[in-house]
Chains A and B, each alone.
Chain A
Amino acid sequence: MGVVLPADDVLVAGLRAGDEEMFACVLNGWSGSMLRLARSFVSTAASAEEVVQDTWLAVLEGIGRFEGRSSLQTWVYRILVNIARKRGSREHRTVPWTSLAPYDGPTVDPSRFRDGDDRYPGGWRVFPEHWPNTENEVLAHEVRATVAAAIESLPVRQQVVLTLRDIDGQSAEDVCALLDISMANQRVLLHRARAAVRGRLEQYFASTAGVER
């Protein structure tokens, strides 16, 4: 996952003691995800940045009261969601999380599978191509750029769930509690996001096939 930080008790002790380096670490490590999370509640990027700023200020005020009943990250993110919700309703923005009917059409193009009258209906017409390994530095760099662009192009709710689960490494339970969504909705959003990024990677590898190898 993204950034490796010390254990929570070390982090909390550091923040309480005024350890600037420690604060810079969590600030750098979490603010990107926090911006993305904030952006799903408020209407502009500038507004999201202010939400993240206000969250950190509230964290500084409140760190003395942190009891460790959740992880520090979950606690910080909850503060953010509260601030972002208030701000979002002030901006009269409809929070996309409340009325969420999961769209559950297929995540893989149905034409990749055999038809109903085939001997193996629903089976792959052609198996997915194996991907090259990405230890090569140039390739690894391009893969990362492809993935970043794919994430950017996702619907915002999918972006947020993907970021919380696969970049921050939060549990499904924590994400559901934070966003106040059901487990089923959380899973649909996460799966659609992952499948879309996989699809972009597949396109990328197909376009480079024969060039690198």
Chain B
Amino acid sequence: MTCAELVELVTAFLDGALDPETEQRFVEHLAICDGCETYVEQLRQTIAEVGKVQPESLSDETRDRLLTAFRNFHV
């Protein structure tokens, strides 16, 4: 497995979705390649950073309308 091939398989690897033989080659490559080790670590960091992002939110009017609807539902 080359570095160029490995970088395309990181998500499949993290999901445990590689077939056993490919996973073996992935792990063996990773063990001897500092560049790919860094790449995988950076993809993990990226995932962690994405997880901290708050997506856009509803307008205040819609939010207020829904909170009012919830209140009225339970009167």
Chain A interfacial positions (CB closer than 8 Å to B): 1-2, 17-18, 20, 23-24, 27-28, 31-33, 35-36, 49, 52-53, 56-57, 60, 106-108, 110, 113, 120-124, 127-131, 134, 143-144, 147-148, 151, 162-163, 166-167, 169, 172, 183, 187, 190-191, 194-195, 197-198, 201-202
Contact = CB atoms under 8 A, between A and B. Distances in A.
Contacts of B57: 28, 31-32, 35
Contacts of A169: 51
B2 A113 contact: yes
Interface residues of B, number: 43
Contact of A190 (B8, B11, B35, B42): B11
Given A106-B8, A187-B12, A18 B67 contact: no
A32 B56 CA distance: 5
Sort A-B residue pairs by CB-CB distance and give the 10 closest, nearest first: A122-B2, A18-B74, A32-B55, A127-B35, A191-B11, A124-B35, A122-B4, A113-B4, A198-B46, A166-B50
B43 A167 contact: no
Contacts, number: 142
Q: Is the interface of A mostly helix, strand, loop or mixed?
A: helix
Interface in B55-75: 55-59, 62-63, 65-67, 69-71, 73-74
A2 B54 contact: yes
Given A122-B5, A127-B35, A197-B46, A166 B67 contact: no
Contact of B69 (A60, A147, A166): A60
Given A27-B58, A128-B42, A195-B43, 8 more contacts: A17-B74, A35-B58, A52-B62, A57-B66, A107-B7, A120-B2, A163-B55, A169-B51
A121 B3 CA distance: 9
B45 interface: yes
A60 B42 contact: no
B43 to A, nearest CB: 6
